[in-house]
Amino acid sequence: MSKKKILIIDDEPGFTEMVKLNLEATGNYLVKVENRGVRALQSALAYHPDLILLDIIMPDSEGPDICYQLQNHNSLQNTPIVFLTATIRKDEVASQNGNVGGHAFLAKPSNLKELIDCIENHLRPS
């Protein structure tokens, strides 16, 4: 099985580094981190991820705006995007089967198993 490429777009370097290390330790993922929302599109275009984990609230750009940019770019329009956010509680996400407003969501904080399950559920079939 080839490693899946995950792009994490989140403004918290400590959080993104922890998630990166944990995902890469499984041996199943290659992870790139982008801590500046304004560079999200550029990073995604350069990296060609299989899935994007996207924070909603960042100081320089909002997650929904970034999502719109990503989904409206030809080479990224089919890339799954999962919002990873502390603005929605786990019980809210669970009651909506992991989708809120038509988008996949994972509430922070999440444990590694929840994160991997979410990633695997949203990756495009190879």
Which of 35-44, 51-60, 108-117 is the most confident on average?
35-44
How much is the mean pLDDT over the chain?
Answer: 85
Residue 82, Cβ neighbours under 10 Å: how many?
22
Cα dist. 90→25, 99, 109 in Å?
A: 25, 11, 9
Domains of the chain: residue spans and CATH: 4-122 (3.40.50.2300)
- What percent of the chain has pLDDT above 70? 83
Give the predicted TM-score (pTM) of the model. Answer: 0.87
- Is residue 93 over pLDDT 50? no
